[in-house]
Amino acid sequence: MSNLEIFAVLISIIGVSLTIKRNMWCWGFNVFACVLYAYLFFNFKLYGETILQFFFVGMNLYGLYVWLTGKRQDHEIRVETINIKSMYLHIILASIGGLCFGMFLKQFTDASVPMLDSQLAAFSLLGTYWTSRKYIETWILWIVVDIVYVGMFIYKELLLTAGLYAVFVGLAAYGWWQWQQVKRNQIAM
């Protein structure tokens, strides 16, 4: 456990907490957390996670743009629902992308857990995309992804980060509940 890991954990918790509250500052904290974790993961040979952090920076900038220009209700970010056909298509594409990325990592790097690392990276990108689109289903996806991350980080002996992702599971459950309340209020208006 390093000071860098401790700091990255704190910034990450702030970012996710602000996302739950639909606060625009979430995007800045999430970008900063990505930069910190890119460096940390590179040092632990989690190359999929390292590369993922750079994609996260781009997705966070996209999310900021969408939230700034998106639908609002009483100056609040509106919560949306993804249609089932799109949801399945996104999941299939993420699975295929993760598999291809995993084969690349396995063939061309000394990645520690290439297939798991790549699938988690692919589904994390999907989760970030869904968050940027304000899909309430993002929180269910994050619960599943974060549970698997806990196991991977325990295996890699990144125990503080494993703890962070365990907290993320709880925050994602709370986020789902919170956004459900917002969705109910939107429908009632």
Look at residue 184 in the predicted model and tell me its pLDDT. Answer: 87
Q: Has this prediction a pTM greater than 0.85?
A: no
Cα–Cα dist 169/62, whole Å: 24
Residue-wise pLDDT for 57-110, tens only, equals 998 898 888 888 875 554 567 889 999 999 999 999 999 999 999 999 999 988
Look at residue 76 in the predicted model and tell me its pLDDT. Answer: 67
Look at residue 72 in the predicted model and tell me its pLDDT. Answer: 56
Of 16-20, 21-25, 95-99, 182-186, least confident by mean pLDDT is 182-186
Residue-wise pLDDT for 23-36, tens only, equals 989 999 999 999 99
Look at residue 150 in the predicted model and tell me its pLDDT. Answer: 97
Look at residue 69 in the predicted model and tell me its pLDDT. Answer: 84
Whether the Cβ atoms of residue 178 and residue 77 lie closer than 8 Å to each other: no
β-bridge partners, 80: 135
Report the chain's C-alpha Rg in angstroms.
Answer: 16
The number of folded domains in the chain is: 1
- Which domain does 98 fall in, by range? 1-186
Look at residue 59 in the predicted model and tell me its pLDDT. Answer: 87
Half-sphere exposure of residue 121, counting CA atoms within 13 Å on the CB side?
A: 27
Whether the Cβ atoms of residue 7 and residue 35 lie closer than 8 Å to each other: no
For residue 6 the two structure tokens come to: 């401790």
For residue 147 the two structure tokens come to: 């549970």
Q: What are phi and psi of 78, to 5 degrees?
A: -75, 145
Residue-wise pLDDT for 103-160, tens only, equals 999 999 888 899 999 999 999 999 989 988 989 999 999 999 999 999 999 998 889 9
